[in-house]
Amino acid sequence: MRDINHFIDGAVFAGASGRFGEVFDPNTGAVQARVQLATAGEVDRAVQAAQNAFEGWSSTNPQRRARVMFDFKRLVEANMNELAELLSSEHGKVIADSKGDIQRGLEVIEFACGIPHALKGEYTQGAGPGIDVYSMRQPLGVVAGITPFNFPAMIPMWMFGVAIAVGNTFVLKPSERDPSVPVRLAELMLEAGAPNGVLNVVHGDKTAVDAILTHPLVHAVSFVGSSDIAHYVYQTGAANHKRVQAMGGAKNHGIVLPDADMDQVIKDLAGAAYGSAGERCMALPVVVPVGKKTADELRERMVAEIPSLRVGVSTDAGAHYGPVVTAQHRERVAGWIEKGVQEGAELVVDGRDFSLQGHEKGYFIGPSLFDHVKPEMSSYQEEIFGPVLQIVRAETFEEALALPSNHQYGNGVAIFTQNGRAARDFAAWVNVGMVGINVPIPVPVAYHTFGGWKRSAFGDINQHGMEGVRFWTKTKTVTARWPDSALEHSDSSFVIPTMR
C-alpha cells in the first residue's frame, strides 16, 4: 500500500501519528493509498520550518520571488499530464477537467509572477511642511491554507501562489481525500527555487486544522470547504487572533428569461450542472425558467439532452464526467434525491440506478433532473454537490431575482437572456457575489477576485487578484520629517497633529 506523507522543510516527512486516512480510486472503489493524519506536534514541525524560512524569503526581493513563480509555472506545465492523471485518479474528475483544475490554478501563479508591480506602495511627497508619507505592504509571516477535495490543484494555488509571492511562508493542509497533487506541487516549488520551508504540506483532519487555528506563529488562515466547517474555522481562527477568510458551500441558480438562446442554454446547463459530477462550488444545480412556456421547453429539451451525456471512468477521454469522490458522498447525493421525492418535487430523470459495466463498485451516479422544486424544500435549500439539476419555476423576473437573492448561499449566479437591460438590472440587484451573464460558471479570472456572499463566505476579503494581495499582507504607513537645520525647533504640541 502506498503511503502519502507530509512534505516539511523541503523533504518528505513520514510522520508518526499512527493515524491514516484511506484514499480511494473512485473508478473502482478500491483503496489505493493511505495518507498520514498529522498530530498537533507534526503541524508544529511544519510551522517551525516555515518560521525558520520566513526571514530569508521575506527579505528576498520581489523580482526574485517572482522568478521562482515563473519557474514553477514552467515546471507545472511540463508535468501537466502526470499531475492531471494523479489528480483524476484520486478525485475522479475526467482528465480534461483535471487539466482545467491545474490550469485555473496556474493562472493565479501567472498573476503572482507580476507581484513586484502589485507590491509597489503609495507615496505622498509634502503631506505637511517637510513631511512625506508612504505606505508599504509587508508579509504577515507564517500563514496557512486549508483546502477542499474538489479542486486539489487550483485552490491550493489560489492561496499559496499569492501568499508566497508577497513574502510569506506557507503551511498547506489539503483535503485528505485527494492529497497527492498538493505534495507534488510543493516538490515542484522546491525545484523551482523556493527554499526549504517556504511551502510545507501537512495532511490531516480536524486535529491538524485545530492545531493550525490555535498555533501562535500562524498569522492568517485561508479556508475553502463546506459552510459549517468554514464558519467554525472563521470563529476559531479569529478567536485566536488570526486573519481568516473562509469560503463555504453554494447553491448557484441559472435564471433563464423567455428570450434566451435555448440551444445554448441547454448546452451550458448540461456542462455546468453535470460537469465534474456536480462537485463544483460554481456548478449550476438550480435552473429558474421564467414563465410556463420557457419552463416546459427547457424541461423537454433537458430530458432529450441527458441521454447524450456519457458517464465513464475518469481516464475515458470520451466521458463527460466521472465518479463522485467517495462511496459516502454517493450515498449522500442519493439521499438528497430521495429527500426531494419525499418533499414532493417531480423526479423527471433518476440517475441513482446508473452502473458502469466492469466498474460496478465505482462511485458513479447518473444525471438526475427534478421539476417543480419549491423554495421551502430542504433539497432546494441545501447543497447536494452531485449531478442533480433542479428546476424551480418562476412566473416573473422579480420572482426569479428573489430566489438566489433570498437563498442562504450566495456564491455564484447566472442569467441567460438577450435583453441587456434585464441583465444589467439583474447583475446590479442580485444578492450574490459572482454573476454570469450568458456565462454559466462565472469563476472570475485570476487578476480579478473570487468570493461569494452570505453563507458562502465568512470574512470580508476574497481570494486572489488584488484582494489576495491585501489578505496576505499588512500595510505599514510611515510619516517622515527630516530636520531642517535652518529652522528653529518647534514647541511641544499637546493637540492632535493636523495638516493646515
Which residues are part of the catalytic machinery?
281
DSSP string, 33-47: EEEE---HHHHHHHH
Candidate segments 121-129, 140-148, 159-167, 301-309, binder of ligand NAD by CB under 6 A: 140-148
CA 377 to chain centre: 27
Q: CB nearer to ligand NAD: give 209 or 469.
A: 209
Grid coordinates representing 124 are 505622498
The phi, psi pair for 111, rounded to 5°, reads -60, -45
Member of 144, 183, 281, 306 binding ligand NAD (CB under 6 A): 281
Residue 267 in contact with ligand NAD, rule: CB under 6 A: no
Q: CB nearer to ligand NAD: give 89 or 449.
A: 449
Member of 163, 190, 247, 277 binding ligand NAD (CB under 6 A): 247
Candidate segments 127-135, 145-153, 423-431, 469-477, binder of ligand NAD by CB under 6 A: 145-153
**CB count in 10 Å sphere of residue 278:** 25
**CB count in 10 Å sphere of residue 330:** 21
The contacts of residue 338 (CB under 8 Å, 6+ apart) are none
Q: CB nearer to ligand NAD: give 152 or 197.
A: 152
Place of cell 528653529: 488
Shortest reach from residue 179's CB to ligand NAD, in Å: 9
Residue 152 in contact with ligand NAD, rule: CB under 6 A: no
**Cα distance between residue 286 and residue 305, in whole Å:** 17
From the list 196, 137, 185, the residue with the least C-alpha distance to 160 is: 185
Residue 37 in contact with ligand NAD, rule: CB under 6 A: no
Member of 141, 225, 278, 468 binding ligand NAD (CB under 6 A): 225
Judged by CB under 6 A, the number of residues near ligand NAD is 26
Shortest reach from residue 207's CB to ligand NAD, in Å: 9
Member of 8, 83, 146, 373 binding ligand NAD (CB under 6 A): 146
**Cα distance between residue 238 and residue 290, in whole Å:** 42
Grid coordinates representing 62 are 520581489
- Contact flags string 426-465 toward ligand NAD, x per CB under 6 A: --------------------------x---x---------
Residue 147 in contact with ligand NAD, rule: CB under 6 A: yes
Residue 249 in contact with ligand NAD, rule: CB under 6 A: yes
Shortest reach from residue 157's CB to ligand NAD, in Å: 13
Candidate segments 47-55, 148-156, 370-378, 421-429, binder of ligand NAD by CB under 6 A: 148-156
For 371-404, b/e burial (b = at least 16 CB within 10 A) is bbbeeebebbeebbbbbbbbbbbbeebeebbbbb
Grid coordinates representing 266 are 441547454
- Contact flags string 394-433 toward ligand NAD, x per CB under 6 A: -----------------x----------------------
Q: CB nearer to ligand NAD: give 339 or 474.
A: 339
Candidate segments 86-94, 245-253, 309-317, 466-474, binder of ligand NAD by CB under 6 A: 245-253
Torsion of CA 410, 414, 417, 422, to 10 degrees: 30
Helix (H) or strand (E) holding 351: none
Q: CB nearer to ligand NAD: give 110 or 205.
A: 205
For 39-63, b/e burial (b = at least 16 CB within 10 A) is bbebbbbbbbbbbebbeebbebebe
Q: CB nearer to ligand NAD: give 197 or 248.
A: 248
Position of minimal CB gap to ligand NAD: 225
What is the three-class DSSP state of 139? strand
The single-letter DSSP state of residue 358 is T
What is the three-class DSSP state of 366? coil
Candidate segments 34-42, 222-230, 257-265, 396-404, binder of ligand NAD by CB under 6 A: 222-230
**Cα distance between residue 2 and residue 162, in whole Å:** 32
**CB count in 10 Å sphere of residue 123:** 12
CA 266 to chain centre: 26
| Contact by Cβ (8 Å): 5, 19 | no
| Contact by Cβ (8 Å): 412, 432 | yes
Candidate segments 146-154, 256-264, 299-307, 339-347, binder of ligand NAD by CB under 6 A: 146-154
Residue 148 in contact with ligand NAD, rule: CB under 6 A: yes
Residues at the contact surface with ligand NAD, assessed by CB under 6 A: 146-151, 173, 175-176, 205-206, 209, 224-226, 229, 247-250, 281, 383, 385, 411, 452, 456
